[in-house]
Amino acid sequence: MRPVQFLAAALALAPGLVAASKSAIVWFDNPNTPDDVINRAKDDIVKAGGKITHVYTIIKGFSVVAPETALQGVQAWGTEHSVRIEEDNTVSVNV
């Protein structure tokens, strides 16, 4: 079996190992949220294979491309800090 065939067969047997990533915005409603909490959220997402794509200055938040499981993890522990995670979408205005 050639290496490419082996890799294809291995991936076919383990579909859960390849996590789908999604674009999202992560922010904290409370303007007094400590920076170490925000940094923990960023670190957790990066460690899970995500990427921080933008850090906002007007709000306590950032945009990411990250596996769904990473976002769910931050959502779970971040509830005490009023974390909000929303899928990043294009917004348009019809006039």
Reduced to 3 states (helix: H, G, I; strand: E, B; else coil), residue 26 is: strand
For the chain, domains (ranges, CATH) are 18-87 (3.30.70.80)
Which residue bears the tokens 């990411």?
A: 64
Q: Measured in whole angstroms, how far is the alpha carbon of residue 33 from the centre of its chain?
A: 19
Task: Note the pTM of the prediction, 2 decimals.
Answer: 0.73
pLDDT tens digits, 11-59: 444 444 445 889 999 999 998 999 999 999 999 999 999 999 999 999 9
Instruction: Give the model's pLDDT for residue 94.
Output: 85
Side chain identity at 6, as an amino acid letter? F
How many C-beta neighbours within 10 Å does residue 63 have?
17
Which residue bears the tokens 């959502």?
A: 75
